[in-house]
């Protein structure tokens, strides 16, 4: 009898495609089996994948899709290296993904989206789900098929219920947050006209900013990325036809005003990734003058803090028209030294999580999505916010 009960529990776990482990929700991976029919492959030629946890109750017909983040590769060698990792091949991906933060199924931890169908879209193309090219030198092959991967995932999810969604939210963090900007309009077009479609980017508002040596390090990186992965043809057409350098349309600040689908921008004004890789990249700090500041904000000199405050000012300037003119947009720009705040419970919605005017990130996003309140919040400058969960170790 006990054996039969144990076997039943195993079968129930398999049927629900998830397991609970010490209070954690671990969701199994699904390969997109038909992806090859449209040429959608990870860098190494393996099939793309996602994790789906079904909604229930009042949320059973609502969908939240979350792009995974994980940087980019913008040259052949870095992409060959990446193809041997979880961010370049489904062969190396963990088969169970921990769903928390905005993906949690606990109403006390994720009050507005806990009972939605929630999907984690795994990232294995190195180009923010936007490329369409292939490299083959006779010895090595790389598939830059992020755009095709996105299309294959949508085609796979539509008959599973996404095609009948009442409400839908496209989200993502870091490189996945950039994907949310890049694919938001396509997401809207893929769904029925009566579906309420909105998009959210977490730590995806990458600035076209000079570094401390006045070089455009991030611009050069993105230009190489766009060229290598064949991204330009998939960028916003209004933007590419307007700018002399269409590759700059990889930066959200240049196409944000052309977007019509309601959008929420969640970002720190002192984004740690951009601090370490765009504002003060290793190439601009050969003597290590910023090493202590990167490890601990308390160790920054007054001059270094002035530069960081300047970066915040540039970010707010790039967002000023969105703040003033967007009637359907939302924003939460806090003054923390962090990167990605929607995927971890401590920063999304928890006791002591970051807040602006006593509003948590989860609360601000929920207010915006459900039109409960105007939700455009900008924090005062560092160091005024005591609710921050600052990252003191350098991010890669």
**Which helix (H) or strand (E) segment is 268 a member of?**
strand 263-268
Please state the separation of Cα 190 from the chain's center in Å. Answer: 19
Give exposure, 316-343, as e/b (b: 16+ Cβ within 10 Å). Answer: eebbeebeeebeebbbbbbbbbbbbbbb
DSSP string, 213-236: TS--HHHHHHHHHHHHHT-GGGS-
* Residue 387 annotated among the catalytic residues of the structure: no
Enumerate long-range contacts of 352-361, CB under 8 Å, 24 or more apart.
Answer: 352/387, 353/387, 353/389, 354/385, 354/387, 354/388, 354/389, 355/387, 356/332, 356/385, 359/332, 361/266, 361/332
* Residue 371 annotated among the catalytic residues of the structure: no
SS3 85: coil
List 112, 271, 379, 385, catalytic entry: 271
The answer to whether 267 touches 172, Cβ cutoff 8 Å, is: no
* Residue 156 annotated among the catalytic residues of the structure: no
Residues paired with 264 in a beta bridge: 200, 330
Number of helices (H), then strands (E), in the chain:
12, 15
What is the Cα–Cα distance from 99 to 374, expressed in whole angstroms?
A: 28
List 174, 180, 201, 335, catalytic entry: 174
List 277, 339, 353, 367, catalytic entry: 339
Region for residue 230 given its phi and psi (left: phi exceeds 0; alpha: psi -120 to 50; beta: otherwise): left
> Which residues have a Cβ under 8 Å from the Cβ of 73 and sit 6 or more positions away?
43, 79, 81, 82, 88, 126, 127, 225
What is the Cα–Cα distance from 99 to 95, expressed in whole angstroms?
A: 13
What is the Cα–Cα distance from 98 to 80, expressed in whole angstroms?
A: 27
Provide the annotated active-site residues: 174, 271, 339
């Amino acid at each position: 009898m006990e054996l039969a009960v144990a076997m039943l529990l195993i079968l129930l776990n398999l049927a629900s495609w998830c397991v609970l482990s010490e209070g954690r929700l671990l969701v199994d991976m699904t390969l997109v089996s038909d992806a090859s029919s449209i040429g959608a492959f990870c860098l190494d030629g393996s099939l793309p994948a996602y994790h789906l946890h079904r909604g229930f109750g009042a949320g059973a017909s609502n969908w939240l899709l979350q792009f995974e983040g994980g940087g980019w590769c913008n040259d052949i060698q870095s992409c060959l290296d990446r193809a041997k990792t979880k961010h370049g091949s489904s062969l190396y991906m963990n088969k169970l993904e921990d769903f928390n933060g905005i993906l949690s199924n606990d109403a006390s931890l994720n009050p507005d989206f806990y009972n939605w169908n929630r999907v984690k879209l795994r990232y294995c193309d190195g180009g923010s789900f936007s490329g369409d090219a292939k490299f083959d030198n006779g010895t090595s092959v790389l598939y830059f098929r992020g755009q095709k991967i996105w299309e294959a995932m949508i085609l796979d999810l539509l008959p599973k219920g996404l095609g009948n969604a009442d409400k839908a939210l496209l989200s993502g963090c870091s490189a996945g947050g950039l994907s949310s900007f890049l694919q938001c309009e396509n997401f809207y077009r893929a769904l029925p006209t009566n579906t309420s479609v909105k998009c959210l980017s977490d730590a995806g508002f990458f600035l076209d900013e000079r570094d401390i040596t006045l070089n455009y390090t991030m611009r050069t990186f993105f230009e190489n990325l766009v060229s290598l992965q064949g991204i330009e043809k998939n960028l916003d057409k209004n933007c590419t036809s307007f700018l002399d350098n269409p590759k700059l349309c990889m930066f959200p600040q240049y196409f944000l005003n052309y977007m019509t689908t309601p959008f929420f921008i969640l970002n720190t004004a002192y984004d740690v990734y951009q601090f370490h890789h765009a504002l003060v990249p290793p190439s601009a700090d050969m003597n290590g003058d910023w090493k202590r500041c990167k490890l601990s904000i308390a160790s920054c000199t007054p001059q270094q803090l002035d530069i960081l405050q300047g970066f915040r000012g540039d970010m707010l300037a790039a967002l000023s028209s969105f703040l003033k003119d967007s009637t359907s947009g939302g924003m939460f720009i806090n003054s923390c030294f962090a990167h990605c705040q929607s995927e971890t419970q401590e920063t999304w919605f928890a006791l002591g999580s970051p807040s602006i005017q006593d509003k948590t990130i989860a609360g601000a996003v929920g207010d915006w999505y459900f039109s409960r309140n105007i939700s455009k919040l900008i924090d005062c400058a560092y160091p005024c916010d005591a609710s921050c969960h600052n990252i003191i170790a350098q991010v890669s």
